[in-house]
Structure 1
Amino acid sequence: MQILYFPALFLVDPITGSYHPLAYGFISQDDLAKRLLNRVTDFAPMD
């Protein structure tokens, strides 16, 4: 994966082997939830 910065959090699909970075460094739980929602909805606008 060649991770250069720690701590790092990635969203991983073990079936395809793909991964997407969610956060580097320390972030709040609220910010992490927002980033996860953006990633899984492919940044679709929320109504």
Structure 2
Amino acid sequence: MDDIVEDEATSQYKVTAGELRQFVERYERLDQEKKDIAEQQK
């Protein structure tokens, strides 16, 4: 039974890691867009 709980926790962690990766990638893209816009305004 402990194996089942551990497997569920592992699968939840993988989903969370994927979501975190997407969030960071989106943040980096938005940051780059912000820099590009600031450069265009100069």
* TM-score calculated relative to the size of structure 1: 0.32
Q: Which has the higher contact order (CA 8 A, sep 6+)?
A: 1
Query: Which protein is bigger by CA-based radius of gyration?
Result: 2
- The structure with more strand, counted as a fraction of residues: 1
User: TM-score, with normalisation over the residues of structure 2?
Assistant: 0.36
